[in-house]
């Protein structure tokens, strides 16, 4: 098996400050990986490097056959294969849900409107919001808007999906519906890299959990690793977070 996402000894600095200090990780097709760790440990930076939102100083990153570390990378092609969803959903307020989702398929992939509309309908069904196609974002709850943001990404038919704390801005009662959508995606075989504070999601849904600490992959394991930390750092992190 070859990895769909592979980081090899990735170093990333901002100015003089090294924030990724030799990160290596291989994600197989269909795997859902939860990335946990303290604020500032480099989780978002690692995710952003995978999608070339950041460039790296050294190491290698290969994603769906794209050499992401290569200065000559075709960034557009990479991003066709990699969907990313952030904490802020950034839907266009003046467009309907359907129009928000159709935008990238029409403008980036040059699909016909009818095709894009069909993809939007499929994507909305996957996030359980088929009936909201003609609504405007402000008519939806935060959880529903985040599910639309996930649908928008799905409509581009990515090979892998990256999630960066997508439930962190939501009221607690709205996080469940978003996590359930992500669980369905994982069960459906989507390759996912999920930065999250949701330990329940990490334990129950993720195939593997990656604990990052001070710019390094500190521990990797399955759901049982949270109950059995092998390092004092993960033990301390769990003690504070649960
Ligand atoms: P996490 O997502 O785990 O909270 P980040 O990857 O956001 O961590 O940040 C890791 C470190 O890199 C932090 O010290 C942060 O301040 C720093 N950092 C992140 N982005 C930038 C940036 N654009 N410029 C300078 N420093 C940054
Ligand atoms: Mg972050």
Ligand 1 neighbour 213 (Cβ under 6 A): no
Q: What is residue 179's predicted lDDT score, i.e. its pLDDT?
A: 97
Token couple for 137: 């974002």
Buried b (16+ CB within 10 A) or exposed e, 185-208: bbeeebbbbbbbebbebbbebbeb
Quote the ligand 1 centre to 114 CA distance (angstroms). 41
Question: Which domains are assigned to the chain?
Answer: 3-241 (3.40.50.300)
Complex-level ipTM: 0.98
Q: 115 C-alpha to center of ligand 2: Å?
A: 35
Residues 6+ apart with CB under 8 A from 10: 20, 22, 23, 24, 46, 49, 56, 58, 59, 60, 61
- The pair of structure tokens assigned to 164 is 């960066």
Order of strands, sheet of 17-28, starting from the edge strand that comes earlier in the sequence: 17-28, 3-14, 58-63, 66-67
Cα 107 to Cα 25, 55, 161, 178: the distances in Å are 33, 26, 20, 27
pTM equals: 0.96
From 45, 49, 196, mutation site for ligand 1 pocket: most ligand atoms within 8 A of C-beta:
45
Task: From first to last of the 242 residues of the chain, give the pLDDT tens digit.
Answer: 579 999 999 999 999 999 999 999 999 999 999 999 999 999 999 999 999 999 999 999 999 999 999 999 999 999 999 999 999 999 999 999 999 999 999 999 999 999 999 999 999 999 999 999 999 999 999 999 999 999 999 999 999 999 999 999 999 999 999 999 999 999 999 999 999 999 999 999 999 999 999 999 999 999 999 999 999 999 999 998 65
Here the tokens at position 61 are 């990153």
Task: Record the tokens describing residue 118, joined without a space.
Answer: 């069909």
Torsion angles phi and psi, residue 18, rounded to 5: -85, 120
Q: Is residue 38 within 8 Å of 213, Cβ to Cβ?
A: yes
Q: Which of 96, 146, 142 is nearest to 120 (CA)?
A: 96
Judge contact between 33 and 225, C-beta under 8 A.
Answer: no
Give residues whose Cβ lies within 5 Å of ion ligand 2: 44
């Amino acid at each position: 098996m070859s990895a769909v996402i592979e980081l090899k000894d990735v170093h990333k600095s901002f100015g003089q400050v090294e924030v990724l200090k030799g990160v290596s990780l291989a994600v197989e097709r269909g795997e859902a990986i939860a990335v946990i760790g303290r604020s500032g440990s480099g989780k978002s930076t690692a995710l952003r490097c995978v999608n070339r939102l950041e460039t790296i100083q050294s190491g290698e990153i290969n994603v769906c056959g794209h050499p992401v570390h290569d200065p000559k990378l075709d960034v557009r092609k990479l991003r066709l294969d990699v969907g990313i969803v952030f904490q802020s959903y950034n839907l266009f307020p003046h467009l309907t849900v359907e129009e928000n989702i159709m935008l990238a398929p029409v403008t980036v992939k040059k699909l016909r409107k009818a095709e894009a509309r069909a993809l939007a309908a499929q994507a909305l069904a996957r996030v359980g919001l088929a009936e909201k196609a003609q609504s405007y974002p402000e008519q939806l709850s935060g959880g529903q808007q985040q599910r639309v943001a996930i649908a928008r990404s799905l409509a581009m038919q990515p090979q892998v999906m990256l999630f960066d704390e997508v439930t962190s801005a939501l009221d607690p009662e709205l996080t469940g519906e978003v996590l359930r959508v992500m669980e369905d995606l994982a069960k459906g075989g989507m390759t996912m890299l999920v930065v999250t504070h949701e330990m329940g999601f990490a334990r129950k849904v993720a195939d593997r959990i990656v604990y990052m600490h001070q710019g390094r992959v500190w521990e990797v394991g399955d759901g049982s690793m949270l109950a059995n930390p092998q390092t004092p750092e993960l033990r301390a992190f769990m003690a504070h977070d649960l």
